[in-house]
Amino acid sequence: MTDSALKVFEALKWASSFLKENDRDANAGEILLQHFLNQTRSMLLANLHDELSEADFGRFKAAVELHAEGTPIQYIIGSEEFYGRTFYVNEEVLIPRPETEELIYYTLRKLPAIFKKDQKLRLADIGTGSGAIAITMKLEETNLLVSATDIAEPSLEVARGNAKALGAEVQFRQGDLLLPFIEQNEKVDILLSNPPYIPIDDQKSMSVVVTGHEPHRALFAGSDGLDFYRRFMEQLPRVMNLPGLIGFEVGTGQGRAVADMLLRTFPAAKVSVENDINGKDRMVFAALQ
């Protein structure tokens, strides 16, 4: 296709057709062109008959082709929306998902029933990645003292950048799961985590958009996907205050297994499995008394 004097609607039509041919979402072109033209969707639709410069179309075409090959849109444009805020992302971090927004939503709803009003609470986000959970919790509940860990320093660099850009005071620490807290003999009141939970064999049936680009350390967790939850159970009693709240994101069908682990670890806890907006078990909480 020629690059000269193309109108916006012609570029979008080409992208839609090209992406369909490559088994990608046809609407991805619209998102990419919004990014390159720095326009909202309504602005883009109002300007469908505007001509694209050769430079703009060249960048757009390259991005569409990159996505067709499997690169996620979020890594191409460098950001993703989460809980109404824009988070920078790259291939060192998992792309924040809408399901994880529900982990935030349920946590915020549960806090008043467990803790006293205006109590200074310590929250830890384990395996923070882009920092989406830790930063969002700090911005939604400004009284929280928030720390976040990740085993990978490149992921923490992304998280620190997001915290600075969004004005969130979060302490980031490099380390494996809860070891940064255990080593300092520190306790927390709230612990949240969206750990890796995909069984390793599922990789064969997953889209290359995910497996070819998102960090495997943030995706896969042994033969049944539960390896990280087992490790959490060994460490949690050493860091949790009473009362306390633990909240995990889990994979579909894992809710009951993780709930049972928490009950074995904390027999007096009130454990609940919460479904996401699609009716799938997605979050497990333990209210510790």
- The percent of residues above 90 in pLDDT, for the chain, comes to 79
Q: Which residues share a beta bridge with 174?
A: 150
pLDDT at 287: 98
pLDDT at 204: 63
Q: What pTM does this model have?
A: 0.89
Say if residue 215's pLDDT is above 90.
no
pLDDT averaged over the chain? 91
CA distance 102 to 82: 11
Between 222 and 9, residue with greater pLDDT: 9
pLDDT at 116: 87
Q: How confident is the model at residue 4 (pLDDT cuts 50, 70, 90)?
A: low
Q: Please identify which residue in the block is written with the tokens 């539960």.
A: 226
pLDDT at 189: 98
Average pLDDT over residues 118-141: 96
Say if residue 3's pLDDT is above 50.
no
Q: How confident is the model at residue 153 (pLDDT cuts 50, 70, 90)?
A: very high
Residues 6+ away with beta carbon under 8 Å from 137: 104, 107, 108, 123, 125, 144, 146, 192
pLDDT at 197: 73
Between 109 and 198, residue with greater pLDDT: 109
Minimal CA–CA distance to 221: which of 199, 206, 203?
199
- SS3 (DSSP) at 240: strand
How is residue 85 annotated by DSSP?
E
- The percent of residues above 70 in pLDDT, for the chain, comes to 90
Average pLDDT over residues 83-107: 94
Say if residue 236's pLDDT is above 90.
yes
**CATH number for the domain formed by residue range(s) 91-288:** 3.40.50.150
pLDDT digits (tens, 9 = 90+) for 59-92: 999 999 999 988 999 999 999 999 999 999 998 8
Q: How many helices (H) and strands (E) does the chain have?
A: 12, 9
Q: What six digits make up the tokens of 186?
A: 């520190």
pLDDT digits (tens, 9 = 90+) for 31-54: 999 999 999 999 999 999 999 999
Minimal CA–CA distance to 70: which of 23, 126, 108?
23
Extents of the domains making up the chain: 8-69, 91-288
Least confident of 4-8, 21-25, 99-103, 183-187: 4-8
Give whole-number Cα distances, 177 to 104, 190, 277, 282, in Å: 19, 15, 28, 20
Say if residue 184's pLDDT is above 70.
yes
Buried b (16+ CB within 10 A) or exposed e, 150-188: bebeebbebbeebbeebebebebbeeebbebbeeeeeeb
CA distance 227 to 283: 17
Say if residue 1's pLDDT is above 70.
no
Q: Which amino acid is at 182?
A: I
pLDDT at 225: 79
pLDDT at 254: 92
pLDDT at 117: 84
pLDDT at 89: 96
**Do residues 254 and 281 touch, judged by C-beta distance below 8 A?**
yes
